[in-house]
Amino acid sequence: MVKWSKLFNAGGQDRRHIVQDEISALLPTSCRERVPPPPIEPKDVTIVALRLKHQIEQVIPCELEEEQITKAHSGIITNTVLATAKQAGAPEHNACVVFCLLQVKNWFQKQALAELWDADLHDVRAVAAEVMAKRLIEAEEDNKYLFEEILLKRYSTLVDGEPSAPANAIEKAVDLHALTVIGSSGYQKCISYLWRGWVVQDDQDPNRFVNYQNKTNTSYWAHLDPDRMRVPKYQNWVQIAMSIVFLGLYTGAINTINPTGDLDVVEGLLYIFTLGFICDEANKFWKVGRFYLSFWNMFNSTLYSLLTISFVLRMVALGHQLGDEKRGYFNKMSYDFLAFTAPMFWLRLMLYLDTFRFFGAMLVVLKVMMRESLIFFALLLVVMVGFFQAFIGLDIAEDQLANDTAFVIQAMLNAVMQSPEFDGFDNFSPPFGIILYYLFTFVVMVILLNILIALYNSAYEDITENAIDEYMALFSQKTMQFVRAPDENVFIAPFNLIEMFCLILPFEWWMDAKRYDKLNDYVMAVIYSPLLLITALFEQQEAWVVRENRRRGEDDEDTTHEWEQVLAECDFEADGWDKKVQATRPNVEVDTAVLEVRQLRKEVGELKSLLQGLAEKIPEKSWGGDTLGESGLSKVDAGNLGMGESSESGGRDK
C-alpha cells in the first residue's frame, strides 16, 4: 500500500520494504513475498462435494424433524460424522470441505425443487449440510488456517464440464442466505476483520486477501494511507455523509423553485450527485453480477430514474423560449417529478442504518414483506383483469367507453384500498354490474387482503424469531457488497465522476501504470484528507489495543469487560471451587432418561459381578442334596440364580 508520506517524499521506500507486522500475517501478505499454494482443481473440489453429498444421504436416509438436526448435541450430526466429513478431501483438500458443504446445500435445495415428492427429505439434508459446515468452522481453532484456507480462499466446481465462477465460503454463505453458517463465531470474526480493514484485498490480485500490515503500528503517519478508503467501514462512513449532503441538496432544490426554469447551483449539484450514484450502481452491477441486486438496489434505481426524468424534462423546458407556455408546462412537470421523490429520499437514509441491530432487523422484515407482496399482487392482477373485462363487456354497447374505463379503473383501485364506491355500477346492465362489483369487493377485501395480512404476519414471525441471525446476515451482505466489487482506487459516489472524467478518460489510456497509480493517490489524498486525518487517529488507538491484547495472549479484537478485571487474581482450582462445580454440574449433552438408563445398566452390571463372585466361592460338592449345605439355598433358588451345575455358563451369560 502507498503511504501518505510517499505523496510528499519522492525518495520514499518501496512498499515492499514496509515494516512487517509484529506477528505472522493472518493471510498471505503479497504474491511477491509469499507464493500462494496452487489452487485446487475444480474437478477435485467437485469430487469432495460429491463425497459429502453421498455421506449426508446415508446419514439421513429418510425424513427427519429439522430439530433433530439443528439442536445442540444432535444424535444425528455426531462427532464421528463430522470427523468423516472433515476427511472427505483428505489429505490435501480438507480446506475446501466447508465450501463443498455449502455447495451440497445448494444442490439439495435445487433437488428439492426438482423432486417435489421428496422435497422435505432434501430440505432436511440441506439443513444438515449447513449445520455440519457451521460445526466444522467453530471446531477450527487455528484462525490463520480458518481465514486463509477455509473461509477466504476461492474454489470452483464443474458445471457442464466448465469451472464455475470462483467463490469462497464467505460469499457462498451470503448468496445462499445460510443463517446457520453466518451465525457461527468463526464466520462472524472473519466478517469483523473484513469490516475493520484488518483483512484487505491484495493490490495485485483482488481475489486474494492479505493481512493489514500496520495493524499494530502505533505511528500516526503510518495510517495516513489513501488506500485505507477500501475498508468497508470507512466507505460506509463516506456513503452516509454523501447521502446526508444529497438529501440537503434535494431539500434546497425543492424549496427554492425557479419559475423561469433555469438551473441554479443547488439543482446542478443535485443532478451531478445523481449521475455519480447511477454510475456507481452500474459499475458494481457490472463487476458483481446478479448477486448485487437486492431490494435497496431496486429502490435506489427507482429514485434515480425519477430524478433522471425530472432532469430531462428540465432540459426540454430550457429548449423553449422564456415565457413560452410549453416551457412553463415542462418546468412544472419537472418539479412535480422532483417533489414526488421526497418520501424516497428520506427512506433512503434507512439504507445506511442497517449497521445498527434494531434498524437492521426491521429492514429485513420490510424487505421480506415486500417480497411476499409479489404473491398478493400477482393474484390481484389476475382478479382485476378478469373483472375489468367483465365490466367493459357489460358496457360495450354504449359510446362512452373511454369515460367508463376510467370510472371502472378508479372504482376497482378504491376497492383495493378498502374504500369501495358502489354508486354508478347500477348503469352497467342492471343487475349484473352491481352484482359483479359486490363480488369483486368481496374477493379483494375479504380474501386477497387477508391473504396479504397472513403473508405479512408469517414474514414478521419468521424474521423476528431469527432477528439476531438475520441482522448478522444483513451485515455480512453489506460487508461483501464493498468487498465483492474491488477497485484499487476507491472513488465513492459522487467522487467517481472525478475518476471517470478527470483520470480515466484523459490519463489512463496513455500513462504508465506506476505514474497513473501515483496520480490516483494524489487525488484520493486530497479528496479524503479530512476523513483520513480522523481514521488515522482511530487506527492508531486500535493499534495500541491490539498490542496490549497480544501481550496478554488474547485475540486482537478482545475487549476487557468489568468482570474480567479481577479474574486474573482468581484461582478456582487452587481454592477447590472448580472441583465443587464439576461435581454438581448437570450433564446437558445427554437426555436425562438416557442418563438414568445408563446408571441402571451400571448397577445391574455390578449386581451381576457380585452374583458371579458368589457362585465361584460355593463348593461344587454342596450341590448334592436338596439343600445347599449350610447356606440353606435350595436347588430351585440356586437355579434361579444361574448357579446350577448343568447351566452354570448359561446362567452367567444370561
Q: For position 33, what pLDDT does the model report? A: 36
Task: Round to whole Å and give the CA distance between 544 and 551.
Answer: 11
Q: For position 533, what pLDDT does the model report? A: 92
Beta strand 199-201 pairing with 162-163: unpaired
Task: Round to whole Å and give the CA distance between 391 and 409.
Answer: 10
Quote the DSSP letter at residue 634.
B
Q: For position 242, what pLDDT does the model report? A: 92
- Give a yes or no: residue 115 inside a domain: yes
* Secondary structure element (H or E) that encloses residue 653, with its range: helix 648-653
Whether 582 shows a pLDDT value over 90: the answer reads no
Q: Do residue 201 and residue 298 come from a single domain?
A: no
Picking from 503, 521, 552, the residue at the C-terminal end of a domain is 552
**Confidence at 195, pLDDT banded by 50, 70, 90:** very high
The β-bridge partners of 316 are none
Q: Are 17 and 191 in contact (CB under 8 A)?
A: no
Q: Are 461 and 176 in contact (CB under 8 A)?
A: no
Give the DSSP letter string of 352-396: GGTTSHHHHHHHHHHHHHHHHHHHHHHHHHHHHHHHHHHHHHHTT
Picking from 320, 337, 353, the residue at the C-terminal end of a domain is 353
Task: Round to whole Å and give the CA distance between 67 and 516.
Answer: 57
**Confidence at 272, pLDDT banded by 50, 70, 90:** very high
- Give a yes or no: residue 578 inside a domain: no
Model confidence over 294-310: pLDDT tens digits?
A: 777 888 899 999 999 99
Q: Do residue 112 and residue 212 come from a single domain?
A: yes
Q: Do residue 256 and residue 324 come from a single domain?
A: yes
Phi and psi of 517, rounded to 5°? -65, -40
Q: Do residue 327 and residue 427 come from a single domain?
A: no
Which domain covers residue 436, as residue numbers? 358-465
Whether 290 shows a pLDDT value over 80: the answer reads no
Please choose, from the candidates 437, 442, 429, the residue with its C-alpha nearest in 3D space to the C-alpha of residue 409.
437
Give the DSSP letter string of 541-599: HHHHHHHHHHHTT--TT----GGGTTGGG--TTTTTHHHHHHHH----SS-HHHHHHHH
- Give a yes or no: residue 90 inside a domain: yes
Task: Round to whole Å and give the CA distance between 138 and 151.
Answer: 12
Whether 578 shows a pLDDT value over 80: the answer reads yes
Read off the pLDDT of each residue in 632-645 and give the average, rounded to a whole number.
45
**Secondary structure of residue 331 in the 3-state scheme:** helix
Tell me the pTM.
Answer: 0.76
Task: Round to whole Å and give the CA distance between 372 and 368.
Answer: 6
**Confidence at 627, pLDDT banded by 50, 70, 90:** very low
Read off the pLDDT of each residue in 192-213 and give the average, rounded to a whole number.
82
Whether 425 shows a pLDDT value over 50: the answer reads yes
HSE-CB at 507 with a 13 A cutoff on CA atoms is 17
- Give a yes or no: residue 471 inside a domain: no
Q: For position 399, what pLDDT does the model report? A: 54
Q: Do residue 78 and residue 181 come from a single domain?
A: yes
Q: State how far the alpha carbon of 315 is from the alpha carbons of 261, 321, 327, 333, 334, in Å.
A: 9, 12, 10, 12, 9
Model confidence over 7-28: pLDDT tens digits?
A: 434 333 333 333 333 333 333 3
**% of the chain beyond a pLDDT of 90:** 29
Read off the pLDDT of each residue in 313-340 and give the average, rounded to a whole number.
89
Q: For position 650, what pLDDT does the model report? A: 43
- Give a yes or no: residue 597 inside a domain: yes
Sign of CA dihedral 357, 359, 362, 368: negative
**Confidence at 631, pLDDT banded by 50, 70, 90:** very low
Q: Which of 323-327, 398-402, 462-466, 642-646 has the highest mean pLDDT?
A: 323-327
Range name among 71-85, 258-272, 579-593 with the lowest pLDDT average: 579-593
Span between the terminal Cα atoms of the chain, in Å: 77
Q: State how far the alpha carbon of 153 is from the alpha carbons of 16, 150, 182, 210, in Å.
A: 23, 6, 17, 11
Q: State how far the alpha carbon of 558 is from the alpha carbons of 220, 473, 509, in Å.
A: 22, 22, 47
Give the DSSP letter string of 85-135: HHTTTTTT-GGGHHHHHHHHHHHHHHHHHH-GGGHHHHHHHHHHHHHHHHH
Q: For position 13, what pLDDT does the model report? A: 37
Angle CA(52)–CA(142)–CA(91) in degrees, nearest 5?
Answer: 40
Read off the pLDDT of each residue in 536-550 and give the average, rounded to a whole number.
89
Q: For position 26, what pLDDT does the model report? A: 33
Model confidence over 343-393: pLDDT tens digits?
A: 999 988 887 777 777 777 777 887 778 877 888 888 889 999 999 888 888
Quote the DSSP letter at residue 407.
H
Q: Are 259 and 296 in contact (CB under 8 A)?
A: no
Q: State how far the alpha carbon of 81 is from the alpha carbons of 69, 133, 320, 595, in Å.
A: 12, 12, 76, 22
Q: Do residue 381 and residue 293 come from a single domain?
A: no
Whether 563 shows a pLDDT value over 90: the answer reads no
Q: Do residue 373 and residue 521 come from a single domain?
A: no
The separation between CA 354 and the C-alpha centre of its own chain, rounded to angstroms, equals 12
Q: Do residue 276 and residue 169 come from a single domain?
A: no
Beta strand 162-163 pairing with 158-159: antiparallel
**Confidence at 101, pLDDT banded by 50, 70, 90:** very high
Q: Are 145 and 81 in contact (CB under 8 A)?
A: no
- Give a yes or no: residue 583 inside a domain: no
Q: Do residue 176 and residue 49 come from a single domain?
A: yes
- Give a yes or no: residue 374 inside a domain: yes
Mean pLDDT (the chain) is 81
Read off the pLDDT of each residue in 224-246 and give the average, rounded to a whole number.
89
Q: Do residue 540 and residue 647 come from a single domain?
A: no
Whether 29 shows a pLDDT value over 60: the answer reads no
Quote the DSSP letter at residue 167.
B
Quote the DSSP letter at residue 290.
G
Q: Do residue 527 and residue 390 come from a single domain?
A: no
Q: At what angle do helices 449-465 and 357-394 cross, to 10 degrees?
A: 170
Task: Round to whole Å and give the CA distance between 76 and 69.
Answer: 6
Domain count, the chain: 5
Q: Do residue 348 and residue 286 come from a single domain?
A: yes
Picking from 353, 374, 401, the residue at the C-terminal end of a domain is 353
Task: Round to whole Å and give the CA distance between 125 and 64.
Answer: 9
**% of the chain beyond a pLDDT of 70:** 86
Whether 158 shows a pLDDT value over 50: the answer reads yes
Model confidence over 125-148: pLDDT tens digits?
A: 999 999 999 999 999 888 888 888
Range name among 468-482, 530-544, 625-639 with the lowest pLDDT average: 625-639
Q: State how far the alpha carbon of 49 is from the alpha carbons of 36, 106, 121, 122, in Å.
A: 23, 11, 19, 16
Q: Are 184 and 219 in contact (CB under 8 A)?
A: no
Q: State how far the alpha carbon of 579 is from the alpha carbons of 290, 589, 599, in Å.
A: 57, 19, 22
Q: For position 487, what pLDDT does the model report? A: 62
Model confidence over 160-188: pLDDT tens digits?
A: 889 888 889 999 999 899 999 999 999 99
- Give a yes or no: residue 404 inside a domain: yes
